[in-house]
Amino acid sequence: MATNDTPSSSESVPERREVTTTESARRDKLLKRLKPYWMMEGANVLLMPLIAWFLITVVAEGQITIAVIAAMLATSFLLVVGTFAWKMVVDGLEGNSTSEEQWTPWLDLARWPAMLLTILALIATVVEAISTLPRFSASLIGASLLCLLAILEFVNYYHVQLQHFDHAEDFQRLLSGKGFRQSHLSKSIRTYRQRIRKV
């Protein structure tokens, strides 16, 4: 007599519930970890320039130069990009997919002004370096650090996820030699571009 190995509906329901509960718990844990990110990035849009201004003018008694202003603008612009990028991830985890559909095209376009602002900041910093070296002024140091931050932010959002220090699994992955993960925004942009090619 043949036996039926397919589980009955009464047997499979608890398994489905267990999987659903596990996925829900994993999503809630991820949401709890990622939700503060967009708030922190949003706060840093103003906080980073204020910190730079305070360190340069008050602590080091230096001046805010064109290079510093350009680097502040580049950094803040990319932090705005990061704010929306993380907000899209959080909204997706909360079940709101329209946020990603709405903002991904704009963030894809924002890549070009982000690159332009960063390049202009680098040029202004190099010009200041030529006029002040070998003396390292507070403004030159500040502009250089802000330019570095802008470059790292650009890579972190538009290419690979550089931020691994705050999550053990990501840090272990990096140490194991598997490299950096593709950033969330980069994945969203790739999906968006593939979709519009099919239209």
Rounded to two decimals, what is the model's pTM? 0.80
Q: Which residues pair with 182 in a beta bridge?
A: 160
Residue 125 has pLDDT above 60, yes or no: yes
For the four alpha carbons of 87, 105, 195 and 159, in that order, the dihedral sign comes to negative
172-182: pLDDT as tens digits: 555 555 666 78
Which two tokens mark 194?
A: 């593939």
127-180: pLDDT as tens digits: 999 999 888 999 999 999 999 999 999 999 999 887 655 555 655 555 555 666
Q: For 30-53, what is the HEC assignment?
A: HHHHHHHHHHHHHHHHHHHHHHHH
Confidence class of residue 27 from pLDDT cuts 50, 70 and 90? confident
φ and ψ at 182, to 5 degrees? -70, 140
Q: Comparing C-alpha atoms, which of 186, 185, 160, 188 is closest to residue 174?
A: 160
